[in-house]
Structure 1
Amino acid sequence: MAFMNFKLLLTRHTYIALLSIALCLLTCVMNTAPALAASTTSLPAPTSGLDSPHDLETFLDGVMAAQLKDDHIPGATVSVVKDGKILFAKGYGYADIQHNEPVNAATTLFRIGSVSKLLTWTAVMQLAEEGKVNLHADVNTYLKTFQIPATYPQPITLANLLTHTAGFEDSGISNYVPTAHDLQPLGLWLPTHMPARVRAPGVLASYSNYGATLAGYIVEQVSGMPFDQYIEQHIYTPLNMSQSTFRQPVPSPLAAHLSQGYTAVDGTYRADPFENIQYGPAGSMSSTAIDMAHFMIAHLQNGRYGNTRILQTATAEDMHTQHFTQDPRLPGMAYGFYEQSINHVRLIAHGGDTLLFHSLLALLPDAHVGVFVSYNSGGGSIARDTFLQAFMDRYFPAAHVAQTTTLAGFKERAEQISGSYLATRRNYTSFQKLFNPLLSTFNVSTAGAGHLVITGAGQTLNVVEVAPWIFRQVEGPQTVIFHVGSGGTTMLVSNVPFEAFAKAAWYDTPSFHFLLLLVCVLLLLSAVLFWPLGFLRRARSQHEGKRLSGDPRSLLLHVLAGIVSGLDILFVAGLAFLLVSNPLSLAFSVPPMLIALLTLALISSVLTVGVVLSLMLVWGRHFWNSWQRIHYTLVAVAALAFVGELAYWNLLGYRF
């Protein structure tokens, strides 16, 4: 769940919507200048308007009116803080269309998605400050009922969880449940839904909802109280956040003020049910713009809010400091917050997406300014990013410098870096790998002298080279850096410090696998369509009393290969139907239809062995004429290749 994602380039619950197709996870990229030591750039003087609530209100009224109309959003809530005070807070549009209830910044609760993580991370820092946890100790030290497996020599630490460098693969299954009754205690859910460790900790960043949930569970274990209760006592109460909760369902009387979530459908808005989020510490919080303003003030004042503190100054400063970066020229990860650089200004921020709500919290520490915005429909996934950019352009502007010359050697460099890239945040070991082409694949190609175009997740980014291997967005703030070496090529995007993109080998590109699958399906389909016609002709000839030559075993081989072909075609059609008819079912559980399809795939794979072995009989006994033998061989090879595709996409067996 991110903002300014290369998954503007992919919002992380577009991720959830597609993957699960949840995928969160998903389902959601970028922002800076090339020389970008994000924490050392000078701060432009803000315009006088930021000190004028009237000017700010006039500006934001215009921005929000346009967004609600153009992005099909029923309602939104906004707060802006500066120098320890709430400068502006206002609701826009409707929290409940049916009851004509407007959004109120002080009382209307929005689901804030992964912005919730900031409170979880704050709780972890509180415990570290008290000496109850060590950020650099093995997390297994704090886990009493299960352990993270020692896949690598290096253990996972809380610091890894805080910087999204634990090395977990991504997963979107069972992140949501149909009702609050179906929510499992974290101690039961975490060990049964543990993603694989796919890289050593501290090597690359890869955003992880599981990692944040694990941190929330450690808060429970160490503090000795339920996570919800800990947050209420140690963050909500001292910050006077009386309109906030992690609890699901939202308790009374807060429930009466909860915004409805909407989906835009054919020019109207469909009210959707409350989202029960299983990974609570990573995304279940509901809050108001005013309450989030209190939280922003506390962090901008290094833990102080009024006469109370939630963190000591040194702890807060440590939390806001960069602790991991994939390139020193780009923003990196603080503890929980991720850095952004917009108009050469350093921000620490976090975005949040549920299936219905999209939110953003961004702090400008050097300016003592904070911004929070949340929307109650899907259009907010892009609106939040354009909102922040508009705010920064208005109050912290930077001149755009156009690149006019092509650097020497661009053509050779472009040839090296062009191709398909896979995000580190993806699934590796379960059937969810099937969604990587939709959610985690981006293509880089040349677009004229000095220019590249990056496409993926329905978005396009045009960049121009400003230094060897360094590219800046054309008419925009993003910076892209390529690392080329013996270990491969990696693409890094400035406003996605929690993710990297590795260039795929030709045999790992979606285009290769889609082409192979298409050829397989066409050959298998030819067997399903044409062989029955041959059987009908044989039957008619026998009915007319004609004697047919040939070994009767050849008929059995045709039947066997036909069954395999039919099962494979049925699998492809069934999977397509499942994903098109009810893609979000995967966000809640593994549907029975998927289990049935995987069973079909297993049966077909076993029978495929017989088809391949039968080639010796077909050619040894000279069944049929040469063209028929060639066709049978091609079908057998296609069936075998199809099994290979099933294995590649983790669809051979029940790999959930």
Structure 2
Amino acid sequence: MNFRIGTCTRSHILATIFLCFLFFACQNRNGDPLSAPTGSTLQGDGQQVDTSQQLVVPAWFTAASARQLGQELDSIFEQLHRKKGFNGTVLVTKWDQVVYRGAFGYADLKKKDTLSTETVFQLASVSKQFTAMAIMMLKEEGRLDYDDSLHHHLPTLPYRGITIRQLLTHRSGLSNYTYFSDKLWPDRSQYMTNEDVLRLMAAHKPDPYFQPDVRFDYSNTGYALLASVVEQVAGMPFARYLQTRIFTPLKMHNTFTFSPEELEKRSNVATGYTGGRRLRTPDYLDGVLGDKGVYSTVEDLYKWDQALYTQKLVKQQTLEEAFTGTRRKRKRDEDYGFGWRIRELERGDTVVYHAGLWHGYATYMLRNPKEHSALIVLSNVPNGSLRFVKELQEYLHPARPEARPAGSIATASPSPASRSEQEEEQLEGGDPAP
């Protein structure tokens, strides 16, 4: 027997976009009070900060419409779980309210222990936004600049002309360490570290794909090197910096970075499964941080989301730059900032989001800053059960916010992933979903 839990409350919901596996799911049964009153937001320390002057809640966002939406989402998520095999947790907010939270399936398929919204998952590339935040915090402190040369901070690297900004925005041209390390790492029973990535690049000088700033090319190498920059500038391990400067201040008590010792101490980590629900085995690249490696829950990511509406970590002006695209030539609706993808919806709203895929885990986080809305989904069975990007986007972000299209997302045919999405899935190191 499968288990599912969840809750829903107040009104219309946020959105979803992009990436070949976008997530969604959950179940609704026990009613749950709103987590914060309309017109307020929660700081990382739990204190509410009045945002009513900035946030105007529309008239259609009522308790009745919220209840109806919760019922509709409950039906969609139940079908996705039952018919498509979704296994994971979800939390959705709208206008600073938690409108839906819940979990479907198991943290461990063999033990059949029920998932909860406090279950911990590997975030995969959703980790990149924390790496970018660490860089932004050091920049605000005057300890580095976005246009600093990478060679200035990591002098052993044989590459010149690359800046921190280019690493943040995937314009460095550096080759992907997840590819070249396979030939260079001698013992795959031993975890590779960021220091090892630096050493291999210095010794073997893998050819870059192109010269810096020529074009966008999604790069795990860039974010692994950014973690090394944080260590050099801050004078402490990257994991400790995230813990002391971000996770602890925001009371993200179930959030940490990968280490075998840390995983051993935690009893609430979801076991990862690959295609066909095969138990994932440890990967020697798990030890490289910055591009991945943060573990968290949907509840902790909600605290992170709320903190981004405050100045608890960095000034809003700094965040605005992170959410501003950098591509000179691009499609009207797509771009990349600092650790976040950027997309313009048909109705004009701009959302920031990121997806992640790493052996045994698939993740998705989307924010609509205009509406103070968020969608957070974490899964430990990346089986392609939620490749319904356009359908979910139309449902959650209709052209008219007060209207939603009819029809069942769970029984529809998913929109095909674009070539860039397919290529990124491979870069993430995940197992292509059927």
The Cα of 1:389 is off from its aligned counterpart by: 4.4
1:147 equivalent in alignment to 2:169: no
Structure 2: 5+ residue stretches without partners: 1-16, 23-55, 401-413
Distance 1:68 1:175 in 2: 35
Q: Please name the residue that 1:134 is paired with.
A: 145
The Cα of 1:498 is off from its aligned counterpart by: 8.7
Q: Please name the residue that 1:332 is paired with.
A: 335
Distance 1:123 1:497 in 2: 27
| 248 and 47 in structure 1: CA distance in 2 versus 1, 3 angstrom threshold | farther
1:165 equivalent in alignment to 2:171: yes
Q: 1:186 aligns with which of 167, 190, 194?
A: 194
Structure 1: 5+ residue stretches without partners: 12-42, 400-457, 462-477, 479-491, 500-583, 587-656
Distance 2:278 2:145 in 1: 47
1:292 equivalent in alignment to 2:301: yes
Q: Please name the residue that 2:363 is paired with.
A: 359
Q: 2:90 aligns with which of 64, 72, 78?
A: 78
Paired residue type of 1:354: W
1:341 equivalent in alignment to 2:341: no
Distance 2:107 2:81 in 1: 13
Paired residue type of 2:226: A
Counterpart contact for 1:319–1:335, Cα < 8 Å: yes
1:62 equivalent in alignment to 2:75: yes
Counterpart contact for 1:323–1:335, Cα < 8 Å: no
Three-state SS of the structure 2 residue aligned to 1:77 is: strand
Distance 1:191 1:251 in 2: 25
The Cα of 1:67 is off from its aligned counterpart by: 2.0
Distance 1:225 1:231 in 2: 10
| 178 and 259 in structure 1: CA distance in 2 versus 1, 3 angstrom threshold | farther
Three-state SS of the structure 1 residue aligned to 2:335 is: coil
Paired residue type of 1:161: L
| 256 and 367 in structure 1: CA distance in 2 versus 1, 3 angstrom threshold | same
Give CA-to-partner distance per residue, 1:308-338, whole Å, 9 cap, x none. x011121112211222243263421212211
Root-mean-square deviation (CA, aligned residues, Å) is 3.6
1:261 equivalent in alignment to 2:264: no
The Cα of 1:184 is off from its aligned counterpart by: 3.3
Distance 1:44 1:497 in 2: 39
Q: Please name the residue that 1:16 is paired with.
A: none
Paired residue type of 1:182: Q
| 240 and 325 in structure 1: CA distance in 2 versus 1, 3 angstrom threshold | farther
Q: Please name the residue that 1:368 is paired with.
A: 372
Give CA-to-partner distance per residue, 1:494-521, whole Å, 9 cap, x none. x89999xxxxxxxxxxxxxxxxxxxxxx
Distance 1:497 1:271 in 2: 24
Paired residue type of 1:94: Y
Counterpart contact for 1:324–1:332, Cα < 8 Å: yes
Q: Whose radius of gyration is greater, 1 or 2?
A: 1
Three-state SS of the structure 2 residue aligned to 1:239 is: coil
Paired residue type of 2:150: V
Higher relative contact order (CA 8 A, sep 6+): 2
Distance 1:204 1:50 in 2: 47
The aligned runs of 1:70-469 (5 Å cut-off) are 70-73=83-86, 75-105=87-117, 107-144=118-155, 146-150=156-160, 155-173=161-179, 174=181, 182-193=190-201, 195-249=206-260, 251=262, 255-265=266-276, 269-275=277-283, 277-299=286-308, 301=309, 303-304=310-311, 309-327=312-330, 329-344=332-347, 345-380=349-384, 383=386, 385-386=387-388, 389-398=390-399
Three-state SS of the structure 2 residue aligned to 1:172 is: helix
| 291 and 390 in structure 1: CA distance in 2 versus 1, 3 angstrom threshold | farther
Percent of residue pairs identical? 23
Which runs of structure 1 show a deviation greater than 6 angstroms over 4 or more consecutive aligned residues? 43-46, 175-181, 495-499
| 179 and 243 in structure 1: CA distance in 2 versus 1, 3 angstrom threshold | farther
Counterpart contact for 1:296–1:370, Cα < 8 Å: yes
Counterpart contact for 2:334–2:342, Cα < 8 Å: yes
Three-state SS of the structure 2 residue aligned to 1:98 is: coil
| 320 and 97 in structure 1: CA distance in 2 versus 1, 3 angstrom threshold | same
Give CA-to-partner distance per residue, 1:430-488, whole Å, 9 cap, x none. xxxxxxxxxxxxxxxxxxxxxxxxxxxx9957xxxxxxxxxxxxxxxx8xxxxxxxxxx
Three-state SS of the structure 2 residue aligned to 1:374 is: strand
Give the TM-score, by structure 1 length. Answer: 0.49
Counterpart contact for 2:333–2:345, Cα < 8 Å: no
Structure whose residues are more often helix by fraction = 1
Counterpart contact for 1:72–1:264, Cα < 8 Å: no
The aligned runs of 1:11-30 (5 Å cut-off) are none
Give the TM-score, by structure 2 length. Answer: 0.73
| 63 and 279 in structure 1: CA distance in 2 versus 1, 3 angstrom threshold | farther
Counterpart contact for 1:332–1:497, Cα < 8 Å: no
Q: Please name the residue that 2:8 is paired with.
A: none
